[in-house]
A and B are shown apart, each in its own frame.
Chain A
Amino acid sequence: MARPVFRRVDGAEEALRRVAHLDADRALVVAARRDPSRFDALYRKYLAQVYNLAYYELGNHHDAEDATERTFVAALAALPRFEERARPAAGEGASTFRVWLFRIARNVVANRRRELRRHPEAPLDAAAAIADPLDIEGGLDRRSDADAAWAAVARLPADRRRAIVLRFVDEMTTAEIAGVLGRSEGAVRVLLHRALRTVARELGAGGR
Chain B
Amino acid sequence: MSFAGRDASEIEALHTDRYLEALLAQRDLGSSPGPHPRSAAVAGPIAAASTAAGSAPADSGPDETAAVANEGHVDPAIAFAAARLGRDLVRVHPSFRFEERLARRLADIAAAMRLPAAAGAEGSAVPVIPFPFGAESDPAADAFVAPGPAFPRPVLIGGAVASAAISLAGAALVAWRLGRPGADPMTRAIRAAHQLRDATLPARTRLD
Contact = CB atoms under 8 A, between A and B. Distances in A.
Interface magnitude class on chain A? 35 or more
A4 interface: no
B81 A203 contact: yes
Contacts of A165: 89
Contact of A93 (B20, B38, B81, B92): B38
A39 B76 contact: no
Given A47-B94, A164-B85, A189 B16 contact: yes
B110 A205 contact: no
B88 A193 contact: no
Contacts of B82: 168, 196
Interface string A113-150: 00000000000101101100000000000000110111
A165 B99 CA distance: 22
A72 interface: yes
Interface in B66-109: 75-78, 80-82, 84-95, 98-99, 102-103, 105-107, 109
A148 B89 CA distance: 10
Contacts of A37: 107, 110-111
B92 A126 contact: yes
Give chain B's interface secondary structure class: helix
A2 interface: no
A56 B92 CA distance: 9
A190 B13 contact: yes
A5 to B, nearest CB: 34
Contacts of A1: none
Interface residues of B, number: 47
B21 A173 contact: yes
B14 interface: yes
Nearest to B112: A36
A174 interface: yes
Contacts of B36: 93
A76 interface: yes
A193 B163 CA distance: 82
User: In this complex, which of B14, B77, B107, B114 has the most chain A Cβ atoms within 10 angstroms of its Cβ?
Assistant: B77
Given A169-B91, A193-B12, A200-B77, 5 more contacts: A39-B110, A47-B94, A92-B37, A168-B82, A189-B10
